[in-house]
Amino acid sequence: MSRTQGSFIRKAAFAALTALCVTSIASAQTSTPATGLGQAWPNAADVSASPNYHVYVFVLNGIKYIQINDLNGTVHAAVGTANGTSIVLPVGVDSQNVVTSSTTNSSSTETVYSDSSTTVTATPQSNGTRFTVVDTTTCPSGCSGGGGS
């Protein structure tokens, strides 16, 4: 191999490596989808409205999944919402205490998550925490009882 050919190969290899690095950096800067529904520390941003909980949101095929964890990472509950309908997922230690409602009525209720279509509140009880999911698209002023956004 001549000196010119070796130089050309090195330059081509360097150009290919540079292109690969630029592509990797560009793809790393794009939005990484949230994953890990049901896990203690999912690969998702904490969007909690409360300092007492971690809340993670996942979106797949038009369905928004909201997961509520405590500060130690214990999964308490998860719900799926779409088009004004919510469903309780069988996930978490308080899944049996999750309700969907148009109101929240307790003075000890705390908002743990709120966006333009859904508010989730937590109310401590003797047998665990009751989580109430309110569809704010059908109750835009936050309903009654302090569960508003």
Q: In what order do the strands lie in the sheet with 75-82?
A: 53-60, 63-70, 75-82, 85-88
**Binning pLDDT at 50, 70 and 90, where does residue 107 land?**
confident
Query: Could you tell me if residue 15 is inside a domain?
Result: no
Q: What is the mean pLDDT of residues 102-131?
A: 88
pLDDT beyond 60 at 132:
yes
Spatial distance between the Cα atoms of 30 and 37, rounded to a whole number of angstroms: 21
- Count CB atoms within 10 A of the CB of residue 34: 17
Query: Could you tell me if residue 59 is inside a domain?
Result: yes
| Domain limits for position 52 | 31-149
Query: Could you tell me if residue 17 is inside a domain?
Result: no
Amino acid identity of 88? V
% of the chain exceeding 70 in pLDDT: 66
Provide the pLDDT for residue 108: 80
Q: What is the mean pLDDT of residues 48-70?
A: 96
| Adjacent-strand bridge partners of 53 | 70
Provide the pLDDT for residue 99: 94
Amino acid identity of 116? S
Provide the pLDDT for residue 110: 95
Q: Is the pTM of this model over 0.85?
A: no
Domains identified in the chain, total number: 1
Supply the DSSP symbol for 33: P
Contact (Cβ atoms closer than 8 angstroms) between residue 75 and residue 92: yes
pLDDT beyond 60 at 56:
yes
Q: Which two tokens stand for residue 108?
A: 């000890």
Query: Could you tell me if residue 88 is inside a domain?
Result: yes
pLDDT beyond 80 at 26:
no
Query: Could you tell me if residue 92 is inside a domain?
Result: yes
